[in-house]
Amino acid sequence: MPPPPPTRFLSQSALADLADIPATSRWVRSGATRLHVLDYGGDGVPLVVLPGITSPAVTMDFVARELTPLVRPLVVDVRGRGLSDGGGSYGLLEYAEDTEAVVAGLGLDRPVLFGHSMGARIAAVTAVRAKVGLRGTVLGDPPMSGPGRGPYPTPLDAFLDQLAQSRRGTDADEVARSWPRWPRREQELRARWLASCDTEAVTATHRGFESEDFFDWWPSVPGRTALLYGADSPVVTAEGAAEAARLLPSAVLAEIPDAGHMLFWDNPPAALTALREALRPMPT
């Protein structure tokens, strides 16, 4: 009987992408889990970037490199993605512990946390736990689904189908059929790197989108907080944004025009402008 197909892998062409990225690979441990981080360097305030459910760190390069004049971006391969180890649990508390390990392990002095989608939920939980000092928190289109709030708008089967495509071999043209608005380079990176995402990590995280309520944490996020969301997002609806504003009046909310859930991929100029504006008021 042939062995079962691997649950995650990286091709040589994917690894070669790292040669074109102006960042240094750094490694930290969170318990037994080894985490990979892309560090863009510089003397600015550290910005820990936490990507989404199927977004390895390399896929956020086009965002990070635009921020280097303002901050020092450090993009995390969240456990079960990219070059970080998989295994263990994939709940918000475990992800938050990993984020704390990155801050402590790299000796970061009061960084800002920025997360997109899944990463935004992780950033919120990490901020509320207050295990590490932070300057502020920026959340990009966090899933607001949860118990009693209806399902996450993208069904799990859609993610699993994309993972299956990546493991049998896909290309930018096939990715473009699902994500036609994305820049070509981002379609190419997704085609090469999606296979690095662990099926159980994606499945458990998607389950968490519907079992872990974002609003259990959001009202307690301390300090300078900003929420960026797409004007056409099915994840942060107008009602969700209004609830967020009511529950945390001190937060700055910014709507990204002509963007859905994938803010930076859908409308890069507007999303980057909003993120820069959110970062500039952060204390030094």
Alpha-helical runs (H) found in the chain: 12-16, 61-67, 92-105, 118-129, 156-168, 172-178, 184-193, 199-211, 238-247, 263-266, 268-279
Tell me the pLDDT band of 6, cut-offs 50, 70 and 90: low
Averaged pLDDT score across all residues of the chain: 95
pLDDT above 70 covers a percentage of the chain that reads 98
Is 47 strand, coil or helix?
Answer: strand
pLDDT of 281: 81
Per residue in 270-284, pLDDT (tens digit) is 999 999 999 998 776
Region 198-205 average pLDDT: 97
162, 220 contact by CB (below 8 A): no
Per residue in 79-117, pLDDT (tens digit) is 999 999 998 899 999 999 999 999 999 999 999 999 999
Tell me the pLDDT band of 5, cut-offs 50, 70 and 90: low
Per residue in 127-165, pLDDT (tens digit) is 999 999 999 999 999 999 989 988 999 999 999 999 999
pLDDT of 256: 98
User: Lowest-pLDDT range, 71-85, 104-118, 177-191?
Assistant: 177-191
pLDDT higher at 283 or 262: 262
DSSP state of 146: -
pLDDT higher at 200 or 149: 200
pLDDT of 283: 72
Domains in the chain and their CATH numbers? Answer: 24-279 (3.40.50.1820)
- β pairing state of 45-50 and 112-116: parallel
pLDDT of 3: 47
User: Does the pLDDT at position 228 exceed 80?
Assistant: yes
Distance CA(204)–CA(219), nearest Å, equals: 25
125, 96 contact by CB (below 8 A): yes
pLDDT of 144: 96
Region 175-182 average pLDDT: 92
Distance CA(107)–CA(115), nearest Å, equals: 20
CA-nearest of 29, 26, 34, 226 to 124 is 226
